[in-house]
Amino acid sequence: MSDASRARLLELFRSRALLFGTFRLASGKESSYYINSKRALFHSECAALLGDALYEATIEPPAPDVG
* pLDDT tens for the 67 residues of the chain, in order: 889 999 999 999 999 999 999 999 999 999 999 999 999 999 999 999 999 999 998 887 777 777 6
Inside any domain, residue 65: no
Inside any domain, residue 11: yes
Inside any domain, residue 64: no
User: What are 31's strand-pairing partners?
Assistant: 23
Inside any domain, residue 50: yes
Number of domains in the chain: 1
Inside any domain, residue 13: yes
Phi-psi region of 16 (alpha: psi -120 to 50; beta: other; left: phi over 0): alpha
pLDDT on residue 37: 92
19-30: burial string, b at 16+ Cβ within 10 Å, e else = eeeeeeeeeeee
Inside any domain, residue 25: yes
pLDDT on residue 64: 79
Inside any domain, residue 44: yes
Inside any domain, residue 26: yes
Question: In terms of residue numbers, what domain contains 13?
Answer: 3-57
For helices 44-58 and 3-16, angle between their N-to-C axes, nearest 10 degrees? 130
Q: Are 21 and 34 in contact (CB under 8 A)?
A: yes
pLDDT on residue 60: 79
